[in-house]
Amino acid sequence: MAPGARKPVGTDAALAALVAAARRVDVARVLDGDIETRLLQSIVDATARLFDAEAASIAIFESNPDRLEFRVASGEQGRGAIGLTVGPTEGIAGYVFSTGQAIALSDVAHDPRFNRQVAERTGYVPRSIAAAPLLGDGGAIGVLQVLDKRSSPTFSLRDMELLSVFAGQATVAIAAARLERDTGRLLRRALVSIDPDQADGDVDAIIREVTPGLDGDAEVPFWRLVDAVVRARSANGPPLALVAAILEVLADHTASSRGGIARR
Amino acid sequence: MTDPLLPAWSEPFANPGHALRRPLRVRGITREWAWGGATGSGVRVGIIDSGLENDHPDLHGRVVENVAVEIGADGPIVVADEPRDLVGHATACGAIIVGMAPDVELVSIRVLGGDLRGKGTAFAAGLDWAIENGIRVCNLSLSSKSEALFPVFHELVDDAYFRSVALTSAANNVPGPSYPSLFSSVFSVAAHAEPDPFRFYYNPAPPVEFGAWGVDVPIAWREGRHTVATGNSFAAPHVAGLVALILSKHPGLAPFEVKAILASVADNPGRRHPWRTRGAGRPASVEAGPESDEPREARQGTASG
Q: Do A39 and A170 share a domain, yes or no?
A: yes
Q: Do A131 and A77 share a domain, yes or no?
A: yes
Contacts of B178 in chain A (CB under 8 A): 100, 135
Rounded to 5 degrees, φ, ψ at B174 are -125, 150
Domain B34-292 has CATH 3.40.50.200: yes
pLDDT at B37 over 80: yes
Domain region containing A198: 11-33+177-263
Span B153-178, pLDDT tens digits: 899 899 999 999 999 999 887 666 77
Q: What pLDDT is attached to residue B59?
A: 98
Q: Taking Cα atoms as reference points, which of A98, A104, A159, A142 lies closest to residue A126?
A: A104
Q: Do A165 and A42 share a domain, yes or no?
A: yes
* Residue A1 domain-assigned (yes or no): no
d(CA B91, CA B220): 6
Are the C-beta atoms of A68 and A115 separated by less than 8 Å? no
Distances (CA, A) of A264 to A48, A166, A168, B271: 20, 12, 12, 43
d(CA B126, CA B121): 9
pLDDT at B100 over 70: yes
CATH of the domain at A43: 3.30.450.40
H or E element in which residue B157 lies:
helix B150-162
Q: Which residue among A174, A190, A225 closes a domain?
A: A174
Contacts of B87 in chain A (CB under 8 A): 89-92, 94-95
Average pLDDT on B262-274 reads: 75
pLDDT at B285 over 50: no
Whole-number average pLDDT of chain A: 68
List the single range of A19-23, B83-87, B90-94 with lowest mean pLDDT: A19-23
Q: Do A257 and A154 share a domain, yes or no?
A: no
d(CA B231, CA A161): 10
Contact check, Cβ <8 Å, A101/B141? yes
Which member of A101, A104, A155 has the closest CB to residue B143? A101
pLDDT band at B124 (very low <50, low <70, confident <90, very high): confident
Which member of A66, A101, A165 has the closest CB to residue B172? A101
List the single range of A46-55, A116-125, A166-175, B182-191 with lowest mean pLDDT: A116-125
Does residue B180 have a cis bond before it (omega within 30 degrees)? yes
Q: Do A181 and A258 share a domain, yes or no?
A: yes
Contact check, Cβ <8 Å, B173/A138? no
Span A88-145, pLDDT tens digits: 888 888 889 988 889 999 875 455 445 555 566 666 778 899 999 998 877 789 999 9
Average pLDDT on B139-154 reads: 81
* Residue A94 domain-assigned (yes or no): yes
Q: Do A74 and A130 share a domain, yes or no?
A: yes
Among A140-144, A182-186, A221-225, name the most confident range.
Answer: A140-144
pLDDT band at B269 (very low <50, low <70, confident <90, very high): confident
* Residue A247 domain-assigned (yes or no): yes
pLDDT band at A226 (very low <50, low <70, confident <90, very high): very low
The count of structural domains within chain A is 2
Enumerate the β-bridge partners of residue A135: A140
pLDDT at A233 over 60: no
The residue among A101, A128, A219 with the most chain B CBs within 10 A of its CB, best to mutate, is: A101
Percentage, residues of chain B above pLDDT 70: 81
Q: What pLDDT is attached to residue A210?
A: 58
Q: Do A28 and A40 share a domain, yes or no?
A: no
Q: What pLDDT is attached to residue B188?
A: 94
Among B1-15, B50-64, B199-213, name the most confident range.
Answer: B50-64
Could you tell me whether strands B187-192 and A103-106 are parallel, antiparallel, or unpaired per DSSP bridges?
unpaired
Which chain A residue has the Cα nearest residue B88? A91
* Residue A134 domain-assigned (yes or no): yes
Contacts of B89 in chain A (CB under 8 A): 95, 99, 103
* Residue A6 domain-assigned (yes or no): no
Contacts of B109 in chain A (CB under 8 A): none
Q: Do A87 and A77 share a domain, yes or no?
A: yes
Question: ∠ CA A58-A64-A70 to the nearest 5 degrees?
Answer: 15
* Residue A40 domain-assigned (yes or no): yes
pLDDT at A236 over 50: no
Q: Which residue among A174, A204, A235 closes a domain?
A: A174
Q: What pLDDT is attached to residue B65?
A: 98
ipTM above 0.85 for this complex: no
Q: Between residues B102 and A122, which one has the greater pLDDT?
A: B102
Mark out the alpha helices in chain A (DSSP H runs).
11-24, 35-51, 76-79, 91-99, 116-122, 157-194, 200-210, 219-234, 240-263
The residue among B123, B194, B228, B232 with the most chain A CBs within 10 A of its CB, best to mutate, is: B228
* Residue A73 domain-assigned (yes or no): yes
Q: Do A59 and A162 share a domain, yes or no?
A: yes
pTM for the model stands at 0.75
Are the C-beta atoms of B188 and B208 separated by less than 8 Å? yes
Q: Do A135 and A197 share a domain, yes or no?
A: no
Q: Do A135 and A204 share a domain, yes or no?
A: no
pLDDT band at A255 (very low <50, low <70, confident <90, very high): low
Q: Do A164 and A223 share a domain, yes or no?
A: no
Q: Which residue among A117, A146, A174 closes a domain?
A: A174
Q: Where are the domains of chain B?
A: 34-292
Q: Which residues contact B88 (CB under 8 A, 6 or more apart)?
A: B50, B53, B220, B221, B222, B223, B225, B227
Q: What pLDDT is attached to residue A26?
A: 31
